[in-house]
Amino acid sequence: MTQTHRPADLPTAIRHYIDGRFVDSAGGETFDVLDPVSNETYVQAAAGQQADVDAAVAAARRAFAEGPWPRMLPRERSRVLHRIADLVESRDARLAELESFDSGLPITQALGQARRAAENFRFFADLIVAQADDTYKVPGRQINYVNRKPIGVAGLITPWNTPFMLESWKLAPAIATGNTVVLKPAEFTPLSASLWADIFEEAGLPQGVFNLVNGLGEEAGDALVKHPDVPLISFTGESSTGQLIFGNAAPYLKGLSMELGGKSPAVVFADADLDAAIDATIFGVFSLNGERCTAGSRILVERAVYDEFVERYAAQAKRVRVGYPHEKETEVGALVHPEHFEKVMSYVELGKTEGRLVAGGGRPEGFETGNFVAPTVFADVKPDARIFQEEIFGPVVAITPFDTEAEALELANGVKYGLAAYVWTNDLKRAHNFSQAVEAGMVWLNSNNVRDLRTPFGGVKASGLGHEGGYRSIDFYTDQQAVHITLGKVHNPTFGK
């Protein structure tokens, strides 16, 4: 029997939010939204087309050119952002309930995403007040200073995994720096995004600063990327979609920030604390249902401890609690959508020909319907295997042995991605040398993914373009204008004398 927990007071429709009003698509287009436990349609959402994106961009452009927001003092904008954070935090139970229902994320993990969303707004509220820009002095001759300005309308395209938190990760710095925005949330999970409008209104964000257009990537997303009045695009999603966006934005020379896919290695040396490494690597690939870009989905283990590691890891993976998303004991819930479920299951079947199955391998017992996948572990996976090379984005992990540090580095770097890496060793020199040699935008030493909001977030190779986080986000959402002032005699070469 399907155990769909349907939150109270679900909306009867999901609409766009343009220039301070909820509206349907101009042409009346809609698409179905499914809940991932029953895979039944629970609501229809407005499907944005070119006309809807045009209207949203026009509203955002008007708010930028004529409205008060870009001209407000940082302290005034900061007060609004702190009110947004307070409202998000006060509604965390409702946000988590909707997020869990819409995405299949376990409720306990969804609660954490709401708190992180609030913290993103607090962080940038403080940063814009504390920020100081550079001044360069040549005493008696010249002063040069940097004048930082918002750029205009930012197009924000967000993914379906932890959608509300990842929307906040883009909305907070874009709005904090004085830009206006058009948000295009993922079509699989539009429910929680619809809450932003009321939160922003109650917090006092001026009309037109925030606009929301729902829809498919190839329609609404494509129109936003190609719009000539949108100079910035921040995108999180698949690398193949990132390539399309890169090409479509090129004729307009847009600013791009793209956080793309990953196939991140977790490297476990024989001298590591195995208890901690197993706990962290279990969490790193099975939390958030395995639907996380920074998942340590390739575990590379030194041969001296390989057999012990595989045996203990498989035993613990079998104990990971699969359950309905609304239940507090659940550690892995339902994958987001039947299309994605089929993709993950195809990799599970492929893995049975490419590695030794030691845990999982299909639907968990008792879950005959819905998008449930048992935590799945393959050992002895060769580096040319597809499950080693390709992003699966589900609760599936490949374990591979290595003999030397050089081999471990070759394996770690031997994929097209380069988002994150995790290194487990108690050798200080090795820890730093290996971390600096690994091709990844972020490395965690003897740790799972613990983020400090001040640090850069981004990847190399096929995992992204640019960095956000801390001042890097401020840099992306602003233009830095250098102003030069001569203090003494003007030293000009004289032409045409």
Tokens of 398: 């490949």
Other beta carbons less than 10 A from residue 193's beta carbon: 24
Residue with tokens 């209104």: 201
Residues shown for the chain: 497
How far apart CA 44 and CA 26 sit, in angstroms, is: 15
291 close to 393: Cβ distance less than 8 angstroms: yes
- Which is it for strands 396-402 and 298-302: parallel, antiparallel or unpaired? parallel
How far apart CA 390 and CA 380 sit, in angstroms, is: 16
335 close to 289: Cβ distance less than 8 angstroms: yes
Encoded amino acid at 429, one letter: K
How far apart CA 88 and CA 10 sit, in angstroms, is: 18
How far apart CA 405 and CA 357 sit, in angstroms, is: 26
Backbone φ and ψ for 294, nearest 5 degrees, come out as: -95, 15
For 368-494, strand residue ranges (E) read 376-379, 396-402, 417-418, 420-424, 442-445, 460-461, 464-465, 478-486
Q: To 10 degrees, what angle do helices 163-176 and 74-90 make?
A: 160
160 close to 103: Cβ distance less than 8 angstroms: yes
How far apart CA 313 and CA 316 sit, in angstroms, is: 5
- Sequence-separated (6 or more) residues with CB below 8 Å from residue 227: 53, 54, 57, 155
DSSP count for the chain of H helices, then E strands = 15, 22
Out of 29, 99, 259, 391, pick the active-site residue.
259
How far is C-alpha 149 from the geometric centre of its chain's CA atoms?
25
β-partners of residue 396 are: 376
Burial class (CB in 10 A: 0-12, 13-18, 19+), 329: exposed
Residue 293 annotated as catalytic:
yes
How far is C-alpha 292 from the geometric centre of its chain's CA atoms?
8
- Which is it for strands 16-18 and 21-23: parallel, antiparallel or unpaired? antiparallel
Residue 201 annotated as catalytic:
no
Q: Which of 390, 324, 385, 391 is nearest to 357 (CA)?
A: 385
Residue 377 DSSP SS3: strand
Residue 421 DSSP SS3: strand
Out of 167, 293, 331, 439, pick the active-site residue.
293
How far apart CA 243 and CA 132 sit, in angstroms, is: 35
Alpha-carbon distances of 302 from 273, 310, 389, 392, rounded to whole Å:
13, 11, 20, 24
Tokens of 37: 């436990």
Residue 17 DSSP SS3: strand
Residues known to be catalytic: 259, 293
